[in-house]
Amino acid sequence: MTYNRRVQYYETDKMQCTHHSNYIRFMEEARLDFLDKIGYGYARMEKEGLISPVISVDVQYKKPTTFDDIICIEVALKSMTLAKMEFGYTMTCRGEVVCLAKSEHCFLNKDNRPVSIKKVNPALFDLLCSKIE
């Protein structure tokens, strides 16, 4: 799924490039958009007593972007287990890859204890599994 993001002026550094830390924020925006688009937004997950924190991030910066650039973020669910999921991100701008990234997330209950998503929410598990690319 694609999420488009315009770089804001405040997201650039002294060299007028998008600051590297913002790409992780862009990933989160794209991931939440992905969940909304598949009909199971993060707000719903939280309401049902689940959270899915980031446990690892890997980012490869390829080319800089600057203020007012539109970054197209292709986000895909790459793998799913009973307790974790991994997303992949390909970010492009003006037809060129500017960033490749992945993030891994676990599932916790409202007490911050790890859970098997298949056991506590089989419908969500099945939906996510159906979206693996």
33 is catalytic: no
Among the listed residues 13, 58, 68, 126, the single catalytic one is: 13
Record the pTM. 0.94
95-120 pLDDT tens trace: 999 999 999 999 999 999 999 999 99
> Are 1 and 75 contacting, i.e. CB atoms less than 8 angstroms apart?
yes
The CATH number of residue 104's host domain is: 3.10.129.10
Which domain, by its residues, includes 53? 2-130
Element (H, E) at 39: none
11-42 pLDDT tens trace: 999 999 999 999 999 999 999 999 999 999 99
Q: Which residues contact 74 (CB under 8 A, 6 or more apart)?
A: 1, 2, 89, 90, 91, 92
Torsion of CA 127, 70, 24, 60, to 10 degrees: 100
The number of folded domains in the chain is 1
Q: Please state the length of the chain.
A: 133
